[in-house]
Chains A and B, each alone.
Chain A
Amino acid sequence: MVGKVLGLAVADQASLLRLAILGLISIVAIGSRLYSVIRFESVIHEFDPWFNYRTTRYLVNNGFDKFWNWFDETAWYPLGRVVGGTLYPGIMVTSAAIYNALHLLNIPVDIRNVCVFLAPVFSALTAVATYYLGKEVKNATAGLLAAAFIGIAPGYISRSVAGSYDNEGIAIFLLVFTFFLWLRAVRLGSALYGALAATAYFYMVSAWGGYVFIINLIPLHVFALLAMGRYSNRLYVAYSTFYALGTLASMQIPFVGFQPTFTSEHMAAMGTFGLIQLVAFTHYLRALMPAGHFQTLLRAAVAMLFALGAGGLVLLTMRGVIAPWTGRFYSLWDTGYAKVHIPIIASVSEHQPTAWPNFFFDLNLLMLLLPAGIYFSFRELTDNHVFLILYSIFAAYFAGVMVRLILTLTPIVCVMAGIAMANVFETYLDFRGMTAQTTGAGDTTEDAKAPATSAAAAAAASVAASVPPGSPARPALGKRLYAYFPKAVVMVNFMYFLFMFQLHCSWITSSAYSSPSVVLASRAPDGSQHIIDDFREAYYWLRKNTPQDARVLSWWDYGYQLAGMADRTTLVDNNTWNNTHIATVGKVLASDEDTAYELARRHDVDYVLVVFGAMLGYSGDDINKFLWMIRIAQGVYPNDVSEQAFFTADGQYSIDDSASPTMKASLMHKLCYYRFNEVMGAQGFDRVRKQKLPSNVELHNFAEAYTTENWLVRIYKVKDLDSLGRSHRAADAFNGPRPAAPRRVPF
């Protein structure tokens, strides 16, 4: 049926084909993540990546030893931040290693470009790892399909476009790879693969806080297998190796430290480790004892151990030996928890519960194939499939709780969809039966390791971009048509779905996930693009016009960018470790001018930066975030800040003349609207709030230092104390009205 091509046997052709397909998938995966570089420029995106970029630069310039012991006194002024001990160094070390390797080869690449392109490159590796995972749980067809899916799934692209230099960029690869190694370790009962899985896990721990997902899911897998009575020595070897090595290795990361021994998040893994020892011991005992005695012993032992274990856990937790669950963890179970107890977590948009269209938006077709994949997994239900099912269910749940966790759901959805699609292909592209009389659906559980099937499936996977090929068949034409037709109909349908999926992914990637957010783009009525670069303008102004040690107060969202782009000291940043400090900044912005001035001086603040979108209609500005600042401040200073006081009598959040007195007196309101009506005119309008402008905004203790072209960023200087001991209000009154300096008018 199939002859030699290029002098290669069928099996070799298949592997060559697979290699080629994987290569193409990698290229597509990288290519589709480059929109942002092509549209804008090779720039680091958003907020957190700026921190990673800054630390990477520090690492490259100062070496690992200094990086490890780096204390950043310019962040969290005046508390400082022990950077070396409070970050996951994986991504920085990876970039630095790549950078140094390239320089060793005399390829002078800028570290920025290494950082920008790291995530796309790692997405290609993710595709490869997913291929192996799919191959591990089903076959190469499923692997290739899963690889193709993860290469372009928007749920993953959202965190790995070029410039999105964040932990997740490499962590998803490590997540998938660790799971692959784990499954192989379980299947083979191999200590080697267990150790490899532990190594991959160590890399994962060094790269992302999401490693907790692994260290809970794998024990859960083990526990489920034990509960199903599937204990085997293979499982024992795999888990004991993985847990012992993985935990020891993870404790080498300073940020993790001794957490695996006392925090609740790691207790499940430790408990399972103990349990599997007991089970192993029980199995050993069973071999030595008569069955009757054994049953009695077992019951007594199980009851006693359970009581001891549970009692001990409760006692230790109550005594505080085991750290209680953290708020971030509670919010995983109760989506309303954070909003009530920890506004700082609830205020982050990516911590919001997921709206259902998001699933379709990010996963599209794959979401529909997930249940099919679970179904097929249940049909086979090996140890590996138990893992897949558990992963699917848990990841789906967590993805529903928090938007950002769609990211951890994406790999398993891709694998499951790969399995489902592989089954479809195997059934409907199986033309071997054409010569026989059976034309119905083949047995899907049929052993799929045959090379011919792999080749056909591999060919099918490549079909996504081309026409489905027909296999040569012998029987009579009518009979052949009768046999082909239903298959062709199904295949054409699925091809259409896949094609649409590809279109959807490209469109989402290009329209939703490729904006750097540091640079904004708008379209003029004639369709021409207008770049709005106010953020960098403001940061650059700070960099060039303020003293090196100037301290800039802003809401924490802009902390990393200020540190990265403006190179100035910040009070709070996106590493939200100190709620009190953030609340203090919130209080400064929510207080009246005099209180704010006093607080600002106490914290040695030189400049205050606010983001103000009313001129552009940029809705993510500080006035819209203001309620969160108030809530966070109220959480710590309930006597000084009250959310209610910022609403009008009829409960409106307004900023115009009808706003509540507290609102109008607040520093944030003043800094935003100060002199804004001079440029917008008497009939001025806030384009975000759709309200009229406040008519009279007075500001005395702060002096306007810089306002960007589109008024997106406004920077104020905190005035010195008056030399004569007057209040600034009195001094301004004495000095008379400010001379009306000519202002440049935007547009």
Chain B
Amino acid sequence: MRLAASLGACLALGAAWLRVVCAGSAMGDRLLVLVPTAEAAGGYSELLGSLAERGFDVSVRAASNSSVALHVDGRRQYDHAVLLAPAAKRLGAALTAHSFVRFVDDGGNLVVVGSSDMSDQSRKLAAQFGVVFEKHGSRVVDHSHHLVTDGTGDHAVVAASRLAAVPAVLSPQLLEAPGTVYFRGIGHRYDPSNPLLTPALTGAPTTYSDLSGDEVLSGRQLGLVSVFQTRRNARVAFSGSADLFSDAFMRTTQSRNRQLVHDITQWTFQEKAVLREVARRHYLAATGMQPEHYRVSNDMVYEIDLSVYYDDAWRPYEADDVQFEAIMLDPYIRTTLNRTRSSGPAATYRGDIRLPDRYGTFTFRVNYKRTGLANVDVKDTVAIWPLRHDEYPRFLSAAYPYYTGSFVMMVGFLALCAAWLWSAEPSKPVTQAKPATQVKPATQAKPATQAKPATQAKHTAKSKPKSS
């Protein structure tokens, strides 16, 4: 009976787990899509259908809806949000650039979509991530690559194909597939040195942004779609084109839009490339136990279990570039960890490390940051103590002369004392007996003094108190 009950509980738990897994995202499934108006949602049925199919609990709301709030009582209401209303002048009262920044800061994932007539609110929001959209009204234009329908071309619908080779974000299917990505909208500037921001789609050399002013934004500098991962692993995607996501562009022949949108949303909503540290251990190689503190030059083992999430499950993460550092102001050790085994959902990386011959507070750190993957940056502060007073090597071979010296000294001193103490008090004056007694060993001293008659009694008496 009890067995059946616990079995039932297990099944229920398993079912719950399955349901979570089915959600697709490693984080959660509450998804908010903000569209300009309720009717406009019809134009994105492909996207919404795909999201729902992937297990998201999609709420589609008009952007101007005042009842929509990202946080209620300080708690995040959604795990993911898509801001598909670039031009909406008035967002809901609770939907300001600040609230979106807070949403992302709090771990929410966000897709921000722009257009030529995008609102200041959206620009301001994007600017916080280092994505600077072009002037109001500007469009991305390409006179060589553009959509041609029925012999007439619209130069503002750019046929972009400069996809960044970031396998963590863009799938091989997308990169290898034929066709182009259709893009109609606004371009943005980005800082290529920003480690958090990765351009996913940029302009071709012939692509440029009109109304750029003196410095025409074109080619690689012209960002079309960019992805951003915060230091806390929240993800944000920016696209200068809302049409990119629309049914119309997805259904166009030779269009790779569908796959691109799929990849971008999958990445942004943490359905893939989510890396995490499951566990980590460090211990003495000799005992296998983690000590309270290490000693200098200890041999120790550091292990870290990494798993990565994709295709609805946590799987072992396999790479050959996971590095370990032991840092005290500067790294004293930086070594690559070896993958030892992949047990269950995690792969174990292990390093057999000899600690530096330097005491202090060290930080054991694995700082693994790869484009598109979630950051793993784990630190352990560990004290390395100097040797105990009785752990230093004793009896160094180099010091044998000194040991010998000290023992000879001791023996000599004892011999001298013995000679002095047990030599007979000279009753008669002694003649030159002194040198003989001092040089010869104690056992012979006594007969020597006795044998020789002494003459300098005065001297003996005088020097006696000196050494007493």
Contacts and interface: CB of A to CB of B under 8 A. Distances in A.
Interface of A: 68-69, 71, 73, 77-80, 82, 84-85, 189, 191, 233, 236-237, 254, 280, 284, 287-288, 549, 602-604, 721-726, 734-735
Nearest to B391: A69
Contacts of B389: 68-69, 84, 254
A287 B230 CA distance: 93
Contacts of B98: 734-735
Given A71-B386, A288-B459, A725-B195, 19 more contacts: A69-B388, A71-B383, A73-B360, A73-B383, A77-B361, A80-B359, A80-B383, A82-B386, A84-B389, A236-B466, A254-B389, A721-B231, A724-B104, A724-B196, A725-B130, A725-B197, A726-B128, A726-B130, A734-B124
Given A77-B361, A288-B459, A604-B363, A725 B231 contact: yes
A33 B239 CA distance: 77
27 contacts: A69-B388, A71-B293, A71-B383, A71-B385, A73-B293, A73-B383, A78-B360, A78-B362, A80-B361, A82-B386, A189-B465, A191-B468, A233-B465, A237-B466, A237-B468, A287-B459, A287-B463, A288-B459, A723-B230, A723-B231, A724-B104, A724-B130, A724-B228, A725-B196, A726-B128, A734-B97, A735-B98
Nearest to B462: A287
B466 A280 contact: yes
Interface string B104-133: 110000000000000000001000111000
Contacts of B468: 191, 237
Give chain B's interface secondary structure class. Answer: mixed
A86 to B, nearest CB: 11
A725 B129 CA distance: 7
A735 B101 CA distance: 10
B381 interface: yes
A382 B463 CA distance: 24
Interface string B225-247: 00010111010000000000000
B417 to A, nearest CB: 13
A723 B234 contact: yes
B397 interface: no
A316 B363 CA distance: 42
A362 to B, nearest CB: 40
A69 B360 CA distance: 14
Contacts of B3: none
A72 to B, nearest CB: 9
Interface of B: 97-98, 101, 104-105, 124, 128-130, 194-197, 228, 230-232, 234, 293, 328-329, 359-363, 381, 383, 385-386, 388-389, 459, 462-463, 465-466, 468
Top-5 shortest CB links A-B: A73-B383, A78-B361, A71-B385, A723-B230, A725-B196
Nearest to B228: A724
Contacts of A603: 329
Given A82-B386, A237-B466, A725 B194 contact: yes
A80 B381 contact: no
A723 B363 CA distance: 22
A526 B318 CA distance: 77
A723 B235 CA distance: 11
A180 B104 CA distance: 76
A71 B294 CA distance: 11
Contacts of A723: 104-105, 230-232, 234
Contacts of B328: 78-79
Given A73-B361, A78-B329, A233-B465, A724 B388 contact: no
Give chain A's interface secondary structure class. Answer: loop
Contacts of A602: 329
Contact of A724 (B230, B359, B363): B230
Contacts of B130: 724-726
Contacts of B363: 78, 604
Nearest to A233: B466
Nearest to B467: A237
A71 B384 CA distance: 9
Contacts of A68: 389
A733 to B, nearest CB: 10
Contact of A82 (B359, B362, B466): B359
A485 B329 CA distance: 79
Contacts of A84: 389
A614 B461 CA distance: 78
Contacts of A77: 361
A660 B394 CA distance: 60
A79 B129 CA distance: 38
Which of A602, A722, A723: most chain B Cβ within 10 A?
Answer: A723
Contacts of B383: 71, 73, 80
Contacts of A254: 389
A604 B124 CA distance: 33
Contacts of B466: 233, 236-237, 280
B194 A734 contact: no
B360 A724 contact: no
B192 to A, nearest CB: 13
Contacts of B386: 71, 82, 85
Nearest to A75: B361
A69 B392 CA distance: 12
A720 B360 CA distance: 24
Contacts of B104: 723-724
Contacts of B128: 724, 726, 734
A68 B387 CA distance: 11
Contacts of A734: 97-98, 101, 124, 128
Contacts of A722: 231
B101 A549 contact: no
Nearest to A71: B385
Which of B231, B361, B385: most chain A Cβ within 10 A?
Answer: B361
A169 to B, nearest CB: 27
A68 B104 CA distance: 52
Given A280-B466, A725-B130, A549 B381 contact: yes
B43 to A, nearest CB: 31
A79 to B, nearest CB: 5
A248 to B, nearest CB: 11
A73 B386 CA distance: 11
A71 B359 contact: yes
Contacts of B124: 734
Contacts of A725: 129-130, 194-197, 230-231
